[in-house]
Structure 1
Amino acid sequence: MEVLKMRPGLFKEEAQIDTRISFAPFVRFLKEKAQNDNDARARFYQKMIERFESNPEVLLPLEMEDLDRYKEYLDIVTAAVFPIMTDSDKDVYGIGVPYRFSIFYYSTLFKHLFTETGKDGLAVVPNGLSMDKINKDRRGWLYKQILQRFYGYEINYDNSIIHNVISHETGLRRYFKLQLDARFMDIKVKGELPQLDEDMACNHSSIDDMAALLPLSLFSLEGFVIWTVQDVTRDEMMNHIKNLVLKVRDENEAKSYQHLNEGLQAMLENKDIAVHVMPFLKVKNKYVLESKFASSSVILGMQGNEKQQQQLYQQLVKFLENNKDPLVINSLDDVSLTLYPFLKFLPHKGVKSFVLLGIEYENELLGMVEIASPEVNGLPFQKVAKIEYLLPLVTLMLRKSVDIQTAKINNVIKQQFTALQPSVEWKFVDAAWQYLHNPEKGKKDIENITFREVYPLYGAIDVRNSTVERSMALQEDLREQLQLIQQCLERMEKELDLPLLEELAFKNNTLMNNISQSLIAEEESQVNEFLDYEIAPTFRHLYDSYPSLQPMLANYFDTVNKTEGHVFHHRRRYEESLARINTEINEMLEKERDAIQNSFPCYFEKYRTDGVEYNIYIGQSIAQNKKFDLLYLRNLQLWQLTSMAGIARLTHQLMHELEVPLQTTQLILIHSNPIDISFRLDERRFDVEGAYNIRYEIIKKRIDKVHVRDTGERLTQPGKIALVFNYAREAEEYRKYIHFLQNKNILLPEIEMLELEELQGISGLKAMRVSINMEYK
């Protein structure tokens, strides 16, 4: 059997390490198995050992050219290593020289797959892999063996290679996983083995660093390695389609569907079978035909007759909406064409058997899968079933197309009808210009609006105990109304002989006594039902029926809110106080926003909670014609701290004018690293991109009610500014601003350094807290 080798000199680093063929590791392995196994195989292993040891020279290192002399021993190895059921024409395996692309024993299918057609030797480079990738994988595999054997470190390094080849039988791409088994390979050290602890191994985990610590020239290899190859086309196709779904965008949507169709065709293992997936899109609740998908459709693909294409499309949609089961036609004939007129052009395309699957999600038709064969009965169930497990991914792909279509429409609406801040409007205008003047604009949506490497600033002004204050106001309103009802019912019972009034009085007293200090939703619901469905209709009837009760009931109706039918003035006072605070804060921030734009353009967005929160983004990508420098960021950070102190003084002074004296707390999140932001069409605002940046968003959402560690005390307190940070260097920068503002008497002298409690998925947060001089003028 000829030896399969790579072209000489292709892998120059092979010369760095001595490697020889040897049967000795294999014989040692047999001896270990013979000692551990008590069944008939142990005797079989012993016989093989005796055969090798009868010829001592066979246990010495061998050269490649010596193998012909020891073919008998090689046959023993192959018979022992590869199971008796292994088929050379159907299974892919081989035996090779350690750390060499030299295969001296291999199955027929191995050679068929891994040699170039019409040439001797292995294919130079597997499709889709670079020489650097192959070299890295080989060295990684060898260092894994070295670290495990000499240092006892278990390295989680996947050294398998996915090799894709074109099948000679089907003409379609297949995927194979290649793995190397080193059990029959010895690694020997030349000289003294370097000392290497676990920390060094971890800190030098890259292949290049490891080569510096443990040069390959320090080792030699003896034995052989087993090459095994597994067909992983199904798994790779699943991953391939998953990646298509995850990465599909409007700009690559048509190409993604083409790759999806090719992948499904590969799973059917027949290049003559056509597979086509097509999304059905809706506008104003009506299905519309998008030409970029229809042109390659088996049913709809035609040239020059759009009207007829539209007719076929509407017939097709109507059929799929009314028929949930797959349409299977084993032999296309006149009867089929009469029953299903939308198939009228299939005979002209050479289609003789056909399968049509409608794809639905939550009772909504998303699209279809067409499968066509030029052979009668060319689509048996067993073949079509090969792609059934991929249909959930196909469904997800179709849903993404619906999302893309919706986003495109929303984007136009965004451009035409939504006002943008001047600091970022230029980029939207530029993108719209490029889109409108692109000759391919009918095929490509406007680009995604992204600003990269911007610095975020986040601040939150929250109304202290707003939930408690709202609950107290609600309780006071309910108590007042129930007390008023009690007074009315007591007088009615004296004038009217109606036992129902006594029962209403009992319920009223029970509810009044049951209102707890912290009103729960169930209690509130019970009281509201009593007021709306029992008291209100009864009092209206009595008002109309008994003139003597009208003055009393008129006073009741005047007291309750005419829209809601409830006492509302405690809540009104609370809501008006809250609204006054938010209005004052918003007006101040609006003025400040205009002022800070003068130094450097930045994006400033704010939104209401019980108080006001804001995000600011600043960086070079936002400025169109101005060079960014970190001094503008520092200027903005100082402004943020100063403005928070100003807002705190404003709300403190305002408190004496409010009907409900509400207080505010001030919170700043320090984040020194730049992030990327993109415009989200669904929420009409910018949001962060990337897994690392999302952590910043998570922290923002979880720190508003964080406590100081081991104290139970809320971090945010009235009259103070709390600054949350991750790293000491971030705090140091803000310390400078704090000292400056303390020197100006805006802030009081003391700084509290605090450790914060662990939050869900977040640990290690720290905070500074500084008091505000409320008397500063």
Structure 2
Amino acid sequence: MDINDNIESPIEVKISFNKLLNKYENLIEDDNDYIVANARRVLKIAKKNPILRDGFSDFKTFKTHEKEINGILQDTFSPILTKNEIKTASIPYHHYTFNSSERFKNILKTAGDDFELEMKNMPDDQRYIITCAIILNVCYGYNINFKRPFYYEIPDANGIMRYYKILYNADFTEISPKENAPKITQEDYNELLDNFENIELWKEKFPPQSYMFKGFVISNIFDVTDDQSISNIKSSLIGEKKRKDESFMDGFQEIFQSLFGLKNIRVGFSIYNAEEDVFERVYGVGMNSFLLNDLESKNCSDALCKWSYNKLLLENEYFSVSDVDKSFKRSKGKAPHILVLRDQGFKSAIFAPIANDDGLMGILEIVSKEPKILNSINANKLVDVMPFIVTAVERSKNDESNLIEAIIQKECTSIHSSVHWRFKKEARSFIKDQMNGKKASFNKIAFENIYPLYGQIDIKGSSEARNWATQQDLSMQLNAVKRILQNASKIEVLPIYEQYIYQINDYLEAIEAHFQVDSEHQISEFIKNDIEPILKHLYIVDDLKEQIDVYFKRVDDRTDALYHHRKHYDDTISLINKEMASLLDQKQEKAQLMYPHYYERFKTDGVEHNMYIGESITKEDSFNPIYLYNLRLWQLQVMVEMENAYYQMKSDFPVALDVASMILVFNQPLSISFRMDEKQFDVDGTYNARYEIVKKRVDKAFVKGTEERVTQKGKISIVYSQKEDEREYLRYVKFLQAKKYLGDDVEIVELQDLQAVTGLKAIRVNVLYHKDKDDKAFYTYDDLMKEIKA
């Protein structure tokens, strides 16, 4: 078998000791008799075995000339140092070694029979290209700095991964081109400099085995486990994607195991919340806190004893617990951190503060279930890694702060992604002025010539429904109090009970006859100021205790009111808003892909939404009216889908309510600006304000000459003022009728004049519904109600 078999390389390899032997020939003239005698010994071996100078590539020669090769390499592999030095004789960038020190042999033996020696940091493609770079240096004189650190990863007897750096001594190598080797020109060289990753190009310039390599290399190998572990910790903490990976903590544990040379240790973290003086769990896959155990957070004074508290939080110094059981006895089980370690079965530990100039940020926790193996001596290994951990935690806290701000911005302000670019632009300008010492001010954010779209799905009769719920709750509460007072008057005949019963009856009649807005407040004050003191007095009466307990259990602690029907109403409104807003948001994501536009929505008694589309928002010279028409059709279709979704889930809501949908069409472009004080966009100018007036009042508008609201359950109302809008939306209606979204009941009505707004009209068209998602039949609103009740 030949060394070159199954290896693609630009060189053909021959092991030769020619250059080494040449060194010995020079030593013949040395003044030292011992050196001369040794040189003659080596040269005598070479003379009797010319193949060792000429070179060979078959593996059999290593066996047949093993003794002679060892004799030639005796000085290089000194018997005195063989058990200390880690050294091999080999071919560069290959795994095969033909001579090695005893220490290297023992390292491989400890790794196990199934361990395969492999050089890390050397992909196969790069091995070919780096060999070509060596040829450029040696044969053509180009000074290319291609050196990179190469190393082996070899497990020790305990399974701990150890790292060995390889340094090559290439003094005994020679490379020469064969007859078939293409000559490399300056032009070739220039081309190769810009194409390191193009393996095919390198193979074209340096065909496989087109150069002859004669010689061997000495690999001087050094155990750099500590340095590499520190480097691995650094790279792990720097790589944000690595830290989010599920296997991150497993790999991190292994790195610390290598650093300490201990297999059975685990690493955990806890974050210090300075505002509340508590330790908190770090969230992430595989993250543990051995100080907190199963808790999410814990007061620092409850997690540590006074001494350990001062050590970590005030002095910012690490400490070790080498024997948990011994410390537990010494502290009589009163030291919280010792107790929590003992409860988890840990026998030794190191706690290290993660702190910067501003103070403590968190705790690094290293634990083991073996006593003594973690102690104050090996705790010093943390000195070199803590700066990287501190930096990573600082960055993580900044990232968290930025994320919190981003969430607040997303959830609590109206800076939509479509206009975010403009805010970034102004922010950069603001920072630039600050850096240049100018008076910095955040310029007005405005967008001109944009088209508005507005729609709402409104809960019909929400005020009446809440009033009814309030009436029912107040009536139930008054009757419950009345029954207690009636029973009390039987036990203790006092005229005051009769007077309160009379007053309760008066309130009950008023609620039934004409419930008013202030009735709720009057009754609540009566119960709180007059009735509750009496109930507390009556609680001493055994026969009334149970009845009074039942009453107070039904009363809400915050409001002192019975909150039953109103809770059902509030829960229904909340669920409707949540479901409708969620559906609209999901649909909006797809609409943004059609053409970017501004979008915001609000939850009231239903869900409203604003959209603005135009050139000034998209920042690109791409806007066309077709995108406006497309968004209008999309909006109409989505409103129908929201109506369907609502009635399909209506039966799941605590209170049965109806909804009505409306779209407002405004065909003239307008301007909007961001109001810094209210953190939202609003229209600019007197003319544009007309649009806002219509938005706020139109859903309460009546059809002209009637007491009928323009919005009706089971119908979509499209409000507009221009004839071209009417023609446009009638086309959309016809299209959606063909798709079975809308029914055939279409009417055009005039609206009564609003304040400062006249001439409004509305297209009203009935919606077609499905009973559920899988239902293929279509129903009008009345048909749907009959089907649902059937």
State the TM-score, normalizing by the size of structure 2. Answer: 0.48
Larger Rg: 2
State the TM-score, normalizing by the size of structure 1. Answer: 0.49
